[in-house]
Structure 1
Amino acid sequence: MAAKAVVLHAAILAATFVGAPAVAQTNDPNLSQKQIDCLNRTTAAGADCEDGAKNGGGKSGAGNAAGGAVFLPALIVDLFPNPPARPTPAPTQPAPPKSPTSTAAPAPPPSGPITPPTGLNLAAPPRAVSGEFVPDEVLVTVAGDAGAVQQIATTLGLQVRSQRQSRLLGTTLVRYGIPDGRPVGVVLAQLAADGRTQRREPNHIYSLQQAAGIVNYAFERIALDSKQASGENVRIAVIDTGIDDTNPALKGVIAGQFDAMPNVPIKKRDHGTSVDGLIAGVGALEGIAPGAKIYHARAFEGGKSSMDVILSALDWAAEQDVRIINMSFVGPKNDLLGTACRNARALGMVLVAAAGNNGPKAPYGYPAAFDGVIAVTATDAKDGLMPQANRGAYVFLSAPGVEMVASSGTGSDVVTGTSFAAAIVSGAIANLIHAAPDRSADEIEKALAATAKDLGPKGRDNDFGYGLLDIKAAAAAKE
């Protein structure tokens, strides 16, 4: 029944995604490989396809494009949400978008039906997967060439949906699809039995951290003179939504852009525009680091993104020789993201992330909770903690992030959230780097911790971290 529902859903949506890549799908075991290739138009000798082959050998189960074959656009699979633990009403919001197939190393589409394997070894008990994730995909780093990638897929009954060489992971990252409904935790355990797989993770979902839908008081609260503020020529990467680069606040600010999900239409530009503007905006909505150069990677739509898309954006950011990466999003712990962050930090980049807006009892938010990432919580104009902020030992620093005026996709807006507190910290760090370009990421982190204004219990605490950012004191700090 589940398979019929998928095919029916795909048929209904096929007209919507006319431009997406498509392959004919058939389960007829009597077709030859040439007939299947002709159905999919993949044979090099397309002109040699006989009418019988093009029409499935006259079998009613596989017609040509005009004769009833079911075409499944690549984006169809992206529309299915995580399966509920027990029957629940259908979700009211669409599932988050996933990454497009990489153009750097495109993987061929499956050439025919995939038979679910039997008797596979489990190297470990089926893994319990926490957090939100794409229900029919896994991310795997593979030691070997494209042949090894395909052999693993064939052995385990998986689809190679994308593969590329990741700079920050230092190896090939493969996005495998699970076409037969096996749980992600089971597939991860099966993959662990193959020595060519190095890391195996769910394709986790991450969410932007905006809690609310005029002069920026942040300058005063972080002890930064707005007339002296400058991040001139400091290169900062921002991984976020699309932006309105025609907004006057971003004039001359955006040095480069990258779309990590080009096949997903941009509908919202507010969050990314606000983050960029708070960091380096110009004019009436001046940012904390005017003159900084923003390298903006669009990796979110509808407030959501997947691990695969975010890793693609991070790799692009690393290639831009940036000094700071701003990550105003939160999701579950994922070893691939942790490795990418660790390697980015080893390359000298300062990583700044939102602590999260999910409340005092929420689990740790990542990437903020990884070592080497500056986790930022949000405070208001009176240095009070934003009530919905995450808490925990990973919180590193506090910064203004409640009811601030910022640029947006509609001009300007009042914004609240740890996303925007993270942007304030990224801009402040750009000031430090502008003043002392040789200052290392470790030195900057130590200076921020040593000079923060203590707001909670003495010393570092789970609410405010080390305390409120004091950029004047941090600039004067000596090792």
Structure 2
Amino acid sequence: MRKWTALILIFALPMSGTAQRVTAQIALPPAQLPDAARTLPPLPNLGPNVGAEPLARIGDTLAQARIDRITNLLRDHRDRIEPDHGGQPAVRGILIATGIDDAMIARATEKGFRLLERDRIEGLDLDIVRFAVPDGRSLARAQKQLAKLLPDAEVDVDHIYFTSGPGSPLPAATLARAAASGKASLGLIDGGVAAHPAVTGRVSQRGFAAGAPVASSHGTAVASLLVGSGPVQGSAPGQRLLAADVYGADPAGGNASTIARALGWLAQNGVAVTTISLVGPDNKLLALAVSRAQQRGMLIVAAVGNDGPAAPPAYPASYRGVFAVTGVDARNRALPEAGRARHVDFAAPGDDVLAATGPDSVDRLRGTSFAAPLVAGRLALHYPTPAIDRIGPAVSALVMEARDLGQRGRDKTYGHGLICGDCGGR
């Protein structure tokens, strides 16, 4: 419980800084999905005693799939996306900065960085500036130069984040809408949500990317696992949900800027618990947006991804105070493709999970994307409104729910243990 005592202090103080079950573990943003060349090859069928050799083969497969995913995205949309200094995909020709004043903007424009936009993210009281990179200059080089020019500002690229489970756009789908207005304790940052009977009447949506909101199978699945009722039962059935579509129809959707704006909207509307089943690299704007949302009492639950335990730490799951969730199979073993974060807090069912995937479809899915909402829904039942002084009791109640797995007590693989073990149609 020491961690959660510390977590209360973190929130109280200012802070810096038809489904393809295994074959589509690593999904591109909804606008890019799917084709057979971009899905993860089938993983070996693992028996009860898993040796090092099959796990190593899975790790190699996942590593190559991750490289291919990024390579394909950069190749297919080079007009909109380019790599940063570490090879991570980002919006082409754009740098974002926070902690910046008029003098800094003038200094940057003198050096050829064109001011595109000054924006304030309401709900987070966060001011951001967007600059266009000078012609002929790579994104990586320009970031290094602008950071040196503005040492007191936080400068980064606009990284792109991927869904941590299979999903695709549903262009002909009708969007789910709420029957009545009112406060919602749960938020979702993902693709749009289709009007499946399991969620109809309980979802209000807003778009934060070009063409959004657009219903997606991934967003619909995660929403149904949060608030679904009837044949698809979520972990917080019947609750209201605010859903932010950060992908829309934009190949460069799902970027840090859209996620930050979505967090602001949810904070403005008093959301207590937000689910983010997206993964990508550390980003200064995203880190600050997460921090500001947490300071307002929002609890954020994120999936660790499906790139395997040898992959780099996934964000936002790795940020301080974010609840990182891994997935387990029917035998309560960690999914071999589950990614990693700098910490793991809870596990939940992530294999053969029953979820809505369109206006009239229900499928069995696999991936950590579908474990995270099961934890978030249970957390929201203990924490229905944002209030710093209620975080400790809510987290304690959730920990008491957890079924210990793996090593006795909290461990690096399952965190505090399994939440909602009988959820997801298991």
TM-score higher than 0.5:
yes
> In 1, distance between residues paired with 2:265 and 2:80?
19
Letter of the structure 2 residue corresponding to residue 364 of structure 1 = P
User: What are the superposed Cα offsets for residues 64-89 of structure 1, whole Å, 9 maximum, x if unpaired?
Assistant: xxxxxxxxxxxxxxxxxxxx9xxx99
Give the C-alpha shift of residue 396 in structure 1: 1.1
Deviation at 1:188, TM superposition (A): 2.7
AA at the equivalent of 2:369:
S
Deviation at 1:195, TM superposition (A): 5.0
1:177 aligns with 2:169: no
Confirm whether residue 279 of structure 1 aligns to residue 219 of structure 2.
no
Q: Alpha-carbon deviation of 1:193?
A: 4.2
TM-score, normalised to structure 1's length? 0.63
Cα distance between partner residues in 1 of 2:125 and 2:87:
26
- Of 371, 375, 379, the residue aligned with 1:425 is 375
Residue segments in structure 2 that go unaligned for 5+ positions in a row = 1-66, 169-181
What is the aligned partner in structure 2 of residue 399 from structure 1?
A: 348
Q: Structure 2 length as normaliser, TM-score?
A: 0.70
Instruction: Please tell me whether Structure 1 or Structure 2 has the larger radius of gyration of its CA atoms.
Output: 1
Contact 1:399 1:468 in 2 (8 A): yes
How far the C-alpha of 1:234 sits from its partner, in A, is 4.9
Contact map agreement 1:144 1:196 (CA 8 A) in 2: no
After TM superposition, the structure 1 = structure 2 runs for residues 262-273 of structure 1, keeping only pairs within 5 Å, are 262-263=210-211, 266=214, 269-273=216-220
| Match runs of 1:236-255 below 5 Å | 236-244=186-194, 246-254=195-203
Find the counterpart in structure 1 of residue 119 from structure 2.
Answer: 164
Question: CA, structure 1 residues 333+438, in 2 after alignment: closer, same or farther (shift >3 Å)?
Answer: closer
Deviation at 1:92, TM superposition (A): 5.7
Q: Could you tell which deviates more after superposition, 381-390 or 365-374?
A: 381-390
Aligned AA (2:118): Q
The answer on whether the counterparts of 1:236 and 1:325 sit within 8 Å (CA) in structure 2 is yes
Partner of 1:440, secondary structure, is helix
| Residue 260 of structure 2 is aligned to residue 260 of structure 1 | no
Q: Which moved more, 1:425-434 or 1:305-314?
A: 425-434
Q: Which amino acid aligns with 1:190?
A: Q
Q: Report sequence identity in percent.
A: 32
1:453–1:468 CA contact under 8 A, matched in 2: yes
Match of 1:199 among 154, 158, 163: 154
1:136 aligns with 2:93: yes
1:97–1:264 contact (8 Å) kept in structure 2: no
- What secondary structure sits across from 1:239 in the alignment? strand
Amino acid at match of 2:327: A
Contact 2:348 2:420 in 1 (8 A): no
> 1:323: which partner in 2?
272
How many Å separate the matches in 2 of 1:355 and 1:89?
A: 22
- Paired with 2:197 and 2:153, the residues of 1 have a C-alpha distance of 46
Give, in whole Å, the separation in 2 of the partners of 1:282 and 1:335.
Answer: 38
- Alignment partner, residue 463 of structure 1: 413
Q: Aligned pair in 2 of structure 1 residues 243, 430: CA closer, same or farther (>3 Å)?
A: same
User: Which of 288, 305, 309 lines up with 1:356 in the alignment?
Assistant: 305
Match of 1:11 in 2: none
Query: 1:89/1:466 Cα in 2 relative to 1: closer, same or farther (>3 Å)?
Result: closer
Quote the offset at 1:178 in angstroms: 1.1
Q: Is the 8 A contact 1:259 1:297 kept in 2?
A: yes
Is 1:139–1:202's contact at 8 Å kept on the other side of the alignment? yes
One of 210, 214, 236 as aligned partner of 2:165: 210
The answer to whether the 8 Å contact 1:327/1:353 transfers is yes
- Per-residue deviation, 1:285: 1.7
Corresponding residue to 1:189 among 133, 136, 144: 144
Q: CA deviation at 1:310?
A: 1.1
Answer whether contact 2:229 2:237 (CA < 8 A) is retained: yes
The structure-2 alpha-carbon separation of the partners of 1:464 and 1:189, relative to structure 1 and needing over 3 Å to count, comes to same
The C-alpha deviation readout for 1:400-440, integer Å capped at 9, x for no partner, is 12111111125222221111111101111122235999972
Per-residue CA distance 1:442-474 (angstroms, 9 max, x = gap) = 4333443455322112333332122212699xx
Distance change in 2, residues 1:300/1:96 (3 Å)? farther
Q: 1:443 to 1:138 in 2, by over 3 A?
A: farther
In structure 2, give the amino acid aligned to 1:387: P
**Superposition map of 1:41-80 within 5 A:** none
Aligned to 2:365: 415
Give 1:262's aligned amino acid: A
Structure 1 residues 442 and 152: CA distance shift in structure 2, 3 A: farther
Q: Cα distance 1:95–1:420, how it changes in 2: closer, same or farther (>3 A)? A: farther
**Ranges in structure 1 where 5+ consecutive residues have no aligned partner:** 1-83, 99-126, 214-231, 473-479
Change (3 A) 1:437 1:187: closer
Letter in 2 for 1:276: A
Q: 1: distance between equivalents of 2:388 and 2:73? A: 54
Q: Using a 3 Å threshold, how does the CA distance of structure 1 residues 324 and 318 change in structure 2: closer, same or farther?
A: same
* SS at structure 2 position matched to 1:351: strand
In structure 2, what residue type is equivalent to 1:295?
L
Cα RMSD (Å): 3.3
State the number of aligned residues.
Answer: 335
Post-superposition offset of 1:257:
1.7
Confirm whether residue 313 of structure 1 aligns to residue 262 of structure 2. yes
